[in-house]
Structure 1
Amino acid sequence: MWIIELAFTPAPERLAARPAHRDRLTALHGQGVVRMAGPLADDTGAVIVLDAPGRAAVEAILAADPYFTTPGVSVERIRDWRAFLA
């Protein structure tokens, strides 16, 4: 699994792009790719947990969603996570 850590600024473009992004995450959740996702309580960022076979698959998921290149959104870290409970 993979943990995607995002950082946010208050850019209005981010808020405008968020509904389509959440729809995409919901569809990926239905496919079992997104295991968990959500903003931090203070809305300074978010965490997404993906079930993907490798870094290339993660990069493809990120590239397919314009939200990740929207002003106000930055991908801070992509971490390989070896969960033992899921």
Structure 2
Amino acid sequence: MKVLMFYELAEDGLPRLPANIAAHQARLREFHGRGVLLMAGPYGSPPVGAMGVFTSRAAAEEFARDDPFMLNGVVGKCSFHDWNEALA
């Protein structure tokens, strides 16, 4: 089983994104390098949120806890959902 993490942009999150993107991307690379983040990216045009696929809930929660997007108001809501990948 994997865990999906969904971010929803805060109402005023988009203007805050540029100041936080570099640190957020560094965190993505760190967790991907550790093998606990399988894929991630924004959805919508313009973006309304983002999704990440993690190997465990603990990894997803650890990521979100100190993510600059969460800490600095880019994200307004974060949720986690267990996911059973059907084609694995």
TM over 0.5: yes
Q: Which of 27, 30, 35 is matched with 1:32 structurally?
A: 35
Maintained 8 Å contact 1:25/1:34: yes
Code of the residue aligned with 1:46 in structure 2: it is A
If the length of structure 2 is used for normalisation, what is the TM-score?
A: 0.76
Equivalent positions of 1:45-84 (< 5 A) are 45-52=49-56, 55-84=57-86
In structure 2, C-alpha distance between the alignment counterparts of 1:30 and 1:45, rounded to whole Å: 23
Preserved contact between residue 5 and residue 48 of structure 1 (Cα < 8 Å): yes
- DSSP-derived class of the 1:3 partner: strand
TM-score (norm 1): 0.78
| Runs of 5+ consecutive residues of structure 2 not aligned to the other structure | none
Could you say what the CA RMSD is over the residues aligned between the two structures, in angstroms?
Answer: 1.9
Q: Between the two proteins, what is the percent identity of the paired residues?
A: 33
What code does the residue aligned with 2:21 have?
A: R
What is the aligned residue count? 84
